[in-house]
DNA sequence: AATACAATGGTCAAAGATGGTCAATGTATC
DNA sequence: GATACATTGACCATCTTTGACCATTGTATT
């Protein structure tokens, strides 16, 4: 069996029905599997992305860690759809606004959160001397970043 | 748990709703935690700055001390200050992050709202091929836009 | 008063402890 | 053999902890 598959299984075993979050130390895990620490990053990058329904959070330095959160299935599907099909690499102000309204309607965010999201991607927030295309690309990045955060909260 | 986190918690426990000020002896605290005295300075410098909403006052020599005050400002005053003095036309990622944390600590925003705000101004959300100065300016716009939304809600 | 000494706290650079990135290389699959 | 996937290692970034040396203030001695 491939090393990467073994590491993937190991992590997924820790993420059970009840445990939707796991914290690990990169170096410890690497030592346990007797591989390069960067191998852990490879596994995370190829099997624990938002696309797969996971959110990663980490911290360097003494007492550093890597935390993996598993998104709820229906939530993750909804958000992945939003992330890929509707946001993509570029999104207009109007489309973004509609999308945020729908998040609210589906109760994935509170009214207050929706209002803040609207404010963050509003035309006035992004009034810069750049092309509309650049703005749409920027808006997509900001929106996706916020959506990932929403996803992280929903599972908790 | 990290030493620095433990010391941070220790101090924050002393700063309760009623106790907005605490006085401590650097050497005593260091001995209590069995660490280098300068570790106390590190904690203060990274977790009790004005950005975090604290003011430090200290005195050397015999009977020396370190006093920590938690800033207390009324809501509208606070938001105007944040909007104009602290954000301005440009703000770094770190400063923005501290500001949002403070909003959360003062309960002007919910944890979910704070997380979304953090996501909106995070380095990854603004990873564009533009200069740092441009990013800081953009971040300021986005943050101010969101703060206006928060202020609108608080007033109601 | 002036001086010495003790008692504090402050600074800063180095070392330690983690995790991240990326390009080179190896391996399996078509 | 070409292509995609896996593995490694060198180098980088960030956060924490410590220690040597410095600055300030209070107190005891002259």
- D24 C1': nearest CA residue: B60
In this structure, of A146-155, B10-19, B84-93, B142-151, the range with the lowest mean pLDDT score is: A146-155
CB contact under 8 A, A145 and B2: no
**pLDDT lower than 70: segments of chain A:** 154-156
b or e along B55-80 (b: 16 or more beta carbons within 10 Å of the residue's beta carbon)? eeeeeeeeeeebebebeeeeeeebbe
b or e along A88-127 (b: 16 or more beta carbons within 10 Å of the residue's beta carbon)? eebbebebbbebbeebbeeebbeebbbbbbbbbbbeebbe
Instruction: Tell me the average pLDDT across B67-94.
Output: 84
Residue with tokens 């329904």: A53
- Order across the sheet with B21-24: list the strands: B21-24, B65-70, B54-59
- D26 C1': nearest CA residue: B62
Tens of pLDDT, residue by residue over A43-66, are 999 999 999 999 999 999 999 999
Tens of pLDDT, residue by residue over B102-117, are 889 888 899 999 999 9
Alpha carbon of residue B130 to chain centroid = 27
Using the Cβ of B138 and the Cβ atoms of chain A, whether some distance falls under 8 Å is answered with yes
Instruction: Tell me the average pLDDT across B55-76.
Output: 91
Comparing CA positions, the residue from A144, A23, A153 lying closest to residue A90 is A144
How far does B119 lie from chain A, in Å, by closest CA?
Answer: 5
CB contact under 8 A, A109 and B109: no
Nucleic strand D within 7 A of Cβ B4: yes
pLDDT exceeds cutoff 80 at B91: yes
pLDDT of residue A156: 47
pLDDT of residue A3: 96
In what helix (H) or strand (E) does residue B28 lie, and over which residues does it extend? helix B26-32
Tokens of A141: 């990045």
pLDDT exceeds cutoff 80 at B75: no
pTM over 0.85: yes
Tokens of A124: 């006035």
Using the Cβ of B83 and the Cβ atoms of chain A, whether some distance falls under 8 Å is answered with no
Instruction: Tell me the average pLDDT across B114-139.
Output: 93
In what helix (H) or strand (E) does residue B77 lie, and over which residues does it extend? helix B75-81
pLDDT of residue B20: 92
In this structure, of B62-66, B71-75, B128-132, the range with the lowest mean pLDDT score is: B71-75
pLDDT of residue B152: 87
pLDDT exceeds cutoff 90 at B18: no
pLDDT exceeds cutoff 80 at B17: no
Share of chain B above pLDDT 90, in %: 72
Q: How far is the CA of A80 from the C1' of C29 (A)?
A: 30
Q: Decide: helix, strand or coil at residue B23.
A: strand
CB atoms within 10 A of CB B1: 7
pLDDT of residue B155: 65
Using the Cβ of A103 and the Cβ atoms of chain B, whether some distance falls under 8 Å is answered with no
CB contact under 8 A, B116 and A113: yes
Write down the mean pLDDT value for chain B.
92
Residue with tokens 């005050």: B69
pLDDT of residue B105: 87
């Amino acid at each position: 069996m491939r090393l990467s598959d073994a590491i993937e299984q190991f992590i997924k075993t820790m993420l059970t029905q009840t445990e939707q979050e796991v914290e690990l130390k990169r170096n410890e895990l690497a030592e346990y599997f007797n591989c390069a620490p960067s191998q852990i990053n490879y596994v995370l990058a190829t099997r624990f992305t938002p696309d797969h329904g996971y959110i990663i959070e980490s911290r360097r330095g003494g007492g550093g860690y890597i935390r993996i959160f598993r998104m709820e299935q229906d939530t993750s599907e909804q958000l992945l759809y939003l992330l890929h099909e509707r946001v993509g690499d570029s999104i207009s102000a109007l489309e973004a606004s509609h999308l945020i309204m729908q998040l609210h309607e589906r109760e994935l965010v509170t009214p207050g959160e929706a209002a803040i999201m609207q404010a963050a991607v509003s035309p006035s927030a992004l009034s810069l001397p750049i092309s509309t295309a650049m703005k749409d690309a920027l808006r997509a990045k900001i929106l996706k970043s916020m959506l990932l955060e929403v996803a992280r909260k929903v599972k908790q």
